[in-house]
């Protein structure tokens, strides 16, 4: 099974970014471990700080993978365009967050992504991604 992980803005600086919230590990380091844990899945990874690039990546992945794990980061709370793309493609998308946005500032409680995805996993640190991979494999 091919699973594509798409990360949005500022997730390229995990490790340095607010470590008390997001931990002190870089995503690349963590992703190597994730690939090792799920050897039976073909895991690939894309990150962008640019909304349009995330939209293009979702469109492109649609013909090429079986599942998408999306952490749209701050675009979660703003992007109707990303939500429209998820609605337009056929590949199932699981929304992931490292922190629990519902337990944070008010502006993080709104997700444009949640209503259009298969499910949402948040609040388990980087392990949210492990759980999302499992949700596809089970």
Kindly list the residues in this chain that would bind ligand DQA in the complex (CB under 6 A): 10, 71, 73-74, 76, 97-99, 101, 108
Tell me which of 22, 45, 77, 129 is the catalytic residue.
22
- Check if the beta carbon of residue 3 is closer than 8 Å to that of residue 69: yes
Tell me which of 4, 45, 77, 97 is the catalytic residue.
97
Rounded to the nearest whole angstrom, what is the least distance from the CB of residue 39 to ligand DQA in the complex?
25
Distance from first CA to last CA of the chain, Å, rounded?
A: 11
- Toward ligand DQA, which CB reaches closer, 74 or 116? 74
- Toward ligand DQA, which CB reaches closer, 1 or 21? 21
- Toward ligand DQA, which CB reaches closer, 32 or 102? 102
The question of whether 97 is a catalytic residue gets the answer: yes
Rounded to the nearest whole angstrom, what is the least distance from the CB of residue 101 to ligand DQA in the complex?
5
Longest C-alpha distance within the chain, in Å? 39
As given in the structure block, the two tokens for residue 55 are 């939209």
Rounded to the nearest whole angstrom, what is the least distance from the CB of residue 40 to ligand DQA in the complex?
25
Strand locations in the chain (E): 2-7, 42-47, 67-71, 93-97, 119-122
How do strand 93-97 and strand 119-122 relate by DSSP bridges?
Answer: parallel
Residues 6 or more apart whose Cβ sits within 8 Å of residue 64: 2, 4
Rounded to the nearest whole angstrom, what is the least distance from the CB of residue 76 to ligand DQA in the complex?
6
The question of whether 22 is a catalytic residue gets the answer: yes
- Residues marked as catalytic: 22, 97
């Amino acid at each position: 099974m091919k699973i594509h992980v798409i990360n949005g803005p500022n997730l390229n600086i995990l490790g340095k970014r607010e470590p008390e919230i997001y931990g002190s590990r870089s995503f690349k380091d963590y992703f190597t471990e994730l690939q090792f844990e799920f050897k039976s899945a073909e895991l690939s990874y894309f990150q962008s700080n640019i909304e349009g690039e995330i939209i293009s990546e979702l469109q492109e992945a649609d013909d090429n993978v079986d599942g998408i794990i999306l952490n749209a980061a701050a675009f979660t709370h703003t992007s109707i365009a990303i939500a429209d793309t998820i609605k337009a493609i056929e590949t199932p998308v699981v929304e992931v967050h490292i922190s629990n946005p519902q337990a944070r500032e008010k502006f993080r409680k709104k997700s444009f992504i949640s209503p259009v995805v298969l499910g949402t996993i948040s609040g388990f640190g980087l392990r949210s991604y492990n759980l999302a991979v499992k949700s596809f494999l089970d």
